[in-house]
Structure 1
Amino acid sequence: MIESTLRTEDVPAAERFDYLRECLAKTVCPHELSCDSDAELRAEIRVIRLGAAVVWPVTVSAPLRLRRSMRMIREFDPEFYHLSLPLRGTLEIAQGDQEAAHGAYDMYVIDTSRPYDFRASAPPEHRLTPAPARPIADGRPSTAGREPDGAMYAVGLEVPKALVPLPVDRTARLLTRRLPGQEGSGPCWRAFSPGWCVRPPPSGPPTGPGWKQS
């Protein structure tokens, strides 16, 4: 396992947007990025490489839009299936003629070989509040002096399509659609995901229909 943590607060404010775009390109693939307020943008990505797969918990403090065009796909395509699990906030995704909005503890899959349009937004109570430095997952103190207590939290998983031997037409029907987090492997993914976050979501462990704690 190879792990690293990328933080926009490690670079000057004027460079954070370009730094985040570079981080996403290295972690997954190139995207076009846009943000409602560059000044408020704070993001942290924890990159965990597990063989050919990549897990990347992310925290974002401002509404963010990511688009992947056919031109970008022709230039570089890692040929991944991307599984997303939002832990707090909303993820809206459109791919092909399918689109959906997903809330906390929903799951969905997209294909990096097809164009898509993705929007991430924090809960309505989004605000930035002063917060003291505190230890994070890798044992080092956070460099952030202000913490997004209304941030969007999510966990992404990139899996090479070669490792998922399913017919293309079958996977195409699943793209962007909600996958039940309370069935199959969903509960396991939901249970471990908060622990992968750079800063675990303040809302606590998974709750809601179909979720049971032992």
Structure 2
Amino acid sequence: MLHETVFRSEDVPAADRFDYWVELLGRTHAPMELRSDCADDFRASQRVLDLGAVTVWPATFQPLTFRRTPKLIRRSDPETCHLSLLVSGAGASVWGHRETEYKPYDLHINSSSMAYEIHSTGDPVTMVGVEIPMALLPLPRDMAGRVVGASVSAREGMGGLLARFLTQLTADTAPYLPSDGPRLGTVVTDLVAGLFSHILEAGDFLPPETQRRTLTLRIKAFIREHLHDPHLTPTTIAAAHHISTSYLHRLFRDEDTTVAARIRRLRLEAARRDLTDPAFRATPVHTIAARWGFPRATDFSRAYRTAYGTTPTDHRRQALHGHR
């Protein structure tokens, strides 16, 4: 099964439970100030699923007030994006002068880099938390404020798709191998990136620059979803988004790479993960190459050597040497 850490308040002396919970959430998300009317005999449980860079943590706890202050941010900021799928209970979050209320099967979004105050009600409160490094999400920093605090239903659409995945994942981790963790983390990241793109696509009333960035986010998500397709090219990407190829290249002018180079880099990264995964030890190199859009083995080997300074075969042999 996946590697997970379990906490149950009944395993801790009553006098120490609340302080232990404060410390635990500080490690799971970010340091916070917590208050509760039940602090004298606090009851909570949490499972932390290790998905590589991503963490998913279903939890149940008594009503709380969470505060992340500017002082705490200056002291420690893991620069993560947090999502909560509220299963039972209710809550309200405050960012400056803005407040958003939440009910069961709403998604709550915040950032460890922004000050907030959250009040949860209901006994107990049950939720599934997700922590993703902001660096993994195709979201410009100046767009984070548009996503944080957005009202998102987990009953339908992109929110519902993410909620169903999280619910199934946390219901039973037994069928998964520990090595599945990073793969599942990639799926979670892609679903969250898709949700953010959906939130940001608010229509023509948005400034042109915002619409341009939103379209760029959608295209990046599209590229990731279609890396397996050997026919994925700037031309097919432009056609799928009803724009010209020249406009597509203009969208990526401010990015760190061209569209074609981005496709090649992501494909090589995916192939590299498979080549160093013990589960694919018996899979021929050319099969992995074809799976990630390199139908010609010689083209794959040349691109791999250029990117990593070694051949796919040599890299696999060195990486898997300790897994025999």
TM-score w.r.t. structure 2 length?
Answer: 0.50
Deviations 1:4-34 (A, max 9, x none): 1111111110000111011111211111111
The corresponding residue for 2:75 is: 75
Residue 183 of structure 1 deviates from its aligned partner by: 4.3
The corresponding residue for 1:208 is: none
Q: Give the total of aligned pairs.
A: 170
The separation in 1 between residues aligned to 2:160 and 2:119, in whole angstroms, is 25
The separation in 2 between residues aligned to 1:101 and 1:155, in whole angstroms, is 17
The DSSP-based 3-state class of the residue aligned with 1:107 is strand
Match runs of 1:24-173 below 5 Å: 24-60=25-61, 62-122=62-122, 126=123, 151-173=124-146
Counterpart residue type for residue 16 of structure 1: R
Q: Identify, as 1 or 2, the structure richer in helix.
A: 2
The DSSP-based 3-state class of the residue aligned with 1:154 is strand
The corresponding residue for 2:160 is: 187
The separation in 1 between residues aligned to 2:157 and 2:53, in whole angstroms, is 23
The separation in 1 between residues aligned to 2:166 and 2:40, in whole angstroms, is 29
1:43/1:58 contact within 8 Å kept: yes
CA 40–13 in structure 1, closer or farther in 2 if over 3 Å, else same: closer
2:18/2:40 contact within 8 Å kept: no
2:109/2:148 contact within 8 Å kept: yes
Counterpart residue type for residue 89 of structure 2: G
Residue 184 of structure 1 deviates from its aligned partner by: 4.0
Residue 102 of structure 1 deviates from its aligned partner by: 0.4
The separation in 2 between residues aligned to 1:40 and 1:121, in whole angstroms, is 17
Deviations 1:47-69 (A, max 9, x none): 01211111111101x22111111
Q: CA RMSD in A?
A: 1.8
Q: Identify, as 1 or 2, the structure richer in strand.
A: 1
The separation in 1 between residues aligned to 2:26 and 2:162, in whole angstroms, is 25
The corresponding residue for 1:7 is: 8
The separation in 2 between residues aligned to 1:185 and 1:78, in whole angstroms, is 26
Q: Sequence identity, in percent? A: 38
The corresponding residue for 1:209 is: none
Structure 1 residues 166-175 or 51-60, which shifts more?
A: 166-175
CA 33–166 in structure 1, closer or farther in 2 if over 3 Å, else same: same
The separation in 1 between residues aligned to 2:171 and 2:42, in whole angstroms, is 18
Residue 35 of structure 1 deviates from its aligned partner by: 0.3
Gaps of 5+ in 2: 173-324
Counterpart residue type for residue 74 of structure 1: R
TM-score w.r.t. structure 1 length?
Answer: 0.73
Q: Specify which structure has the bigger relative contact order, considering alpha-carbon pairs within 8 angstroms and separated by 6 or more residues.
A: 1
The separation in 2 between residues aligned to 1:105 and 1:182, in whole angstroms, is 6
Structure 1 residues 86-95 or 179-188, which shifts more?
A: 179-188
